[in-house]
Amino acid sequence: MSLLPRLWALALSLSLIPAVASRHESLFTSSVSYCADPVALFVQQFDIEYIAHNSTIFFNVSASTVEENLYASANLMVNVYGIQPINITLDLCDVLGGALCPLPQYNFVGWDWLALPDELDISSQVPGIAFKIPDLEGYAQLQLIEAGTDTVKACVQATLSNGWSTNQIAVEWASAGLTLFALLSAILQSWGSASLAAVRLLDLLYLFQVIVSTAFLDLNYPVVYRSFALNFAWAVGLFAGSSSRSVQASIDNMRHKTGGNMADSNTGSAVSLVNRALSPYNQVATVGSADASGDSGSSFSTSSFGGLLAVPKSLAVTAINRFKRGFVTAGDVQTVTTSSANVLSDGIPIYTNSMHVGTANAFMTVFISVLIFAAIAIGILALLYGVLFLLARSNPTRWSRHKEMYPLWARAWGIRLGLIVLFPVMIFAFYQWTLKDSWLSVLLSVILLLVVLAGVGSAVFFTLRTAKQSRPSALYSTPQHAQSLGPLYMPYREPRFYFFLLVLCLVAIKAIFIGFAHASGPAQVGGLLAVEIIYFVGLCALKPHPTRGADVLAGYLSLTRIVTTGCLIAFIEAMGVAAIPRVAIGLVMAVIYSVSVVVMAINILLHATLYTGLWRRKPTDSDEATLREDKGVAKDETYLDSEKGTPTSAPSTAGWRPSAEHAPSHARYDPSSTMHVRQQSYDLDSTTGLRTHA
């Protein structure tokens, strides 16, 4: 019974071991950009790594200095979490034995390892946590300032990383694997109209989508939280552009031919384009932070660092001699200043560009994912129908009922797929409308949105019409409805069947706030918080689920969303929360969501193993008895009538016994599956809100 979770944990830990073991403590540059238009120094590649255990610097640099007779001073500034532990300015004529005075005109192209002399003792200067904390937020900035004129001749910024991140391939695969498992168990169970597994599948996907959507707002997220949310990007149909370059290139092409002129998908790191006021740069120009930087800067002042740079005279010569001369082109390194147009604002732009998907490509990427998803679903449904068709021909008595049930079952899955894609499609379609980019993207977004809304809307319409024309109980007691429209209202008990309306409205409102209100982070947070609180109040007041357990689970997930949405307040730029508290809050949010994912995983695995366990159990006498009883009342004829919707099958008069409602399909499917339904009747029947009298 506990085998599956154990295997799961084993697979997870196995996949993590090599990643941990092969990692040595180091700090390296993860992206590079100019912070002023380059005049004297061109950089094409700037990979520098400090390896702690043997105190070695690895560099792989391609850069050139082009200005003649440049006597300059260099300012090196390091900003870590908004604190500036290093801000030193040195006259280049005073250091490295004058090797850089004047700045030699060189093309530096090359890579090497340099063992640092022991005198430097960098490891004692760098706190150990810098090598461990995930998604380190820091950058180094080197400025060359011409002596005399004080003009900035070069300004290069490089972000720092230690290789740790909350964005892990293993997590992506584990979450996708869990979803696949939930999907399989939902498909197997969904022959019964009231499949709990299918309900949990939607819950799980919605949870992933919510996690992603909380990283879509116009807020100053700590990198650690955005990386965490990137793990679940697949749940909204975003797949990394790096793994499908050609798709992104085609979308770029399509946009440019249809009036789109926004930036293409990037191939390099999006971090270099992030607005400098945001994480990981945290360049806040407020008085408070300037004071803070002054304080911490003094602890690591020029005097203690100047001597340090004066030491390695031989080192400088070695380093310079090891560079090969080569040709350096302008390269991809971009100039990013506060006034340049290429900066990425927070929310969807930074999120999608982190995956190498351009801001204006986001909707089209989701669109293509939805198309592929729909094509796969239609293919599988058609395949299953073909199999059933053949089976029904070879063994009509056993399989023809299934064939007749099949359209209902397929429709239910169609509704489920519509519910799954509804939230992301709304978010990205709305967002695309605000971009004023390619008209074709907008047209396709309108079409896709209309198709999805029509699918879900028609199901809602038929549900409400049935509830109005007969009674809500007809929704649950008529297999025709329960089998096909069930995904909407089956999670709720009969008197509260309409609760799905509240859920759908709130999801739509969330998508509107995320898609349209992206100019104002506070409005987005306020809107989402209000929606989550309304949902929680509705949940507490109506207790819509048939079991206490289901209500508790929904309440727990709702509270999770309220708390994490509340935490987002700290990320509002105007709040000016410092980087370290924001990172702490981001970590707490990531932990809260991780726990909820684990809770969902346990729930799904428990139900799946309970299911398989009962599946294999031998029939007992009482099971046989109920089976005979079911056959005895010749349920099949009645069932057929009701399936065709003939008037004689009106739920109140058809003579249905609620206890037999799932039974016909299962009885024909496999005798043991009937048992399963009966054994699990507490769960299943209570999920449907049916009261079993058997």
Ligand X SMILES: *[C@@H]1O[C@H](CO)[C@@H](O)[C@H](O)[C@H]1NC(C)=O
The length of the chain in residues reads 694
Smaller CB separation from ligand X, 161 or 359:
161
Q: Does 51 bind ligand X (CB under 6 A)?
A: yes
Smaller CB separation from ligand X, 46 or 208:
46
- The span of 51-59, 126-134, 391-399, 603-611 binding ligand X (CB under 6 A) equals 51-59
Give the nearest distance from C-beta 113 to ligand X in angstroms. 5
Binding to ligand X in span 76-115, by CB under 6 A:
77, 84, 87, 89, 111, 113, 115
Give the nearest distance from C-beta 141 to ligand X in angstroms. 8
Give the nearest distance from C-beta 455 to ligand X in angstroms. 48
Give CA separation, 436 vs 262, 352, 433, in Å: 9, 18, 6
> Whole-angstrom Cα distance, residue 369 to residue 236?
9
* Torsion sign across C-alpha atoms 265, 268, 274, 279: positive
Can you say how many angstroms the Cα of residue 325 is from the centroid of all Cα atoms in its chain? 44
Q: Does 24 bind ligand X (CB under 6 A)?
A: yes
Give the nearest distance from C-beta 112 to ligand X in angstroms. 9
Give the nearest distance from C-beta 159 to ligand X in angstroms. 16
Number of residues that bind ligand X (CB under 6 A): 14
Binding to ligand X in span 659-688, by CB under 6 A:
none
Q: Which of 108, 110, 105 is nearest to 40 (CA)?
A: 105
Smaller CB separation from ligand X, 325 or 631:
325
Smaller CB separation from ligand X, 325 or 548:
325
Q: Does 318 bind ligand X (CB under 6 A)?
A: no
Q: Does 123 bind ligand X (CB under 6 A)?
A: no
Q: Does 303 bind ligand X (CB under 6 A)?
A: no
End-to-end CA distance of the chain: 28
Token duo for residue 667:
């009885």
Q: Does 299 bind ligand X (CB under 6 A)?
A: no
Smaller CB separation from ligand X, 63 or 568:
63
Question: What type of residue is 394?
Answer: S
Q: Does 122 bind ligand X (CB under 6 A)?
A: no
Q: Which of 528, 586, 526 is nearest to 561 (CA)?
A: 528
| Complete DSSP assignment for 291-335 | HHHHHHHHTT-HHHHHHHHHS-HHHHHHHHHHPBP------SPPB
Give the nearest distance from C-beta 47 to ligand X in angstroms. 7
Smaller CB separation from ligand X, 61 or 482:
61
Q: Does 60 bind ligand X (CB under 6 A)?
A: yes
> Whole-angstrom Cα distance, residue 357 to residue 360?
8
Smaller CB separation from ligand X, 60 or 520:
60
Q: Which of 531, 606, 578, 639 is nearest to 210 (CA)?
A: 531
Peptide bond into 280 cis (omega under 30): yes
Give the nearest distance from C-beta 266 to ligand X in angstroms. 17
DSSP designation for 80: E
In degrees to the nearest 10, what's the CA dihedral of 620, 622, 628, 634?
A: -130
Binding to ligand X in span 624-663, by CB under 6 A:
none
Contact residues for 41 (Cβ-Cβ < 8 A; gap 6+): 63, 64, 65, 66, 144, 153, 154, 156
3-state secondary structure 31-43: EEEECCCCCCEEE
Binding to ligand X in span 421-440, by CB under 6 A:
none
Give the nearest distance from C-beta 129 to ligand X in angstroms. 21
Smaller CB separation from ligand X, 237 or 297:
297
Beta-ladder partners of 144: 74, 154
Q: Does 54 bind ligand X (CB under 6 A)?
A: yes
> Whole-angstrom Cα distance, residue 25 to residue 52?
6
Give the nearest distance from C-beta 302 to ligand X in angstroms. 7
Among 29, 45, 159, 680, binds ligand X (CB under 6 A): 45
Beta-ladder partners of 74: 90, 144
Element housing 391 (H / E): helix 362-394
Number of other CB atoms surrounding residue 213 within 10 Å:
25
- The span of 8-16, 50-58, 501-509, 605-613 binding ligand X (CB under 6 A) equals 50-58
Give the nearest distance from C-beta 269 to ligand X in angstroms. 14
> Whole-angstrom Cα distance, residue 239 to residue 365?
8
Among 56, 340, 470, 609, binds ligand X (CB under 6 A): 56
Q: What angle do CA 184, 185, 187 make, to 5 degrees?
A: 65
Smaller CB separation from ligand X, 525 or 579:
579
Smaller CB separation from ligand X, 128 or 326:
326
Smaller CB separation from ligand X, 89 or 458:
89
Number of other CB atoms surrounding residue 627 within 10 Å:
18
Give the nearest distance from C-beta 334 to ligand X in angstroms. 17
Q: What angle do CA 349, 350, 353 make, to 5 degrees?
A: 80
Among 65, 266, 293, 565, binds ligand X (CB under 6 A): 293
Smaller CB separation from ligand X, 54 or 339:
54
Residues making contact with ligand X (CB under 6 A): 24, 45, 51, 54, 56, 60, 77, 84, 87, 89, 111, 113, 115, 293
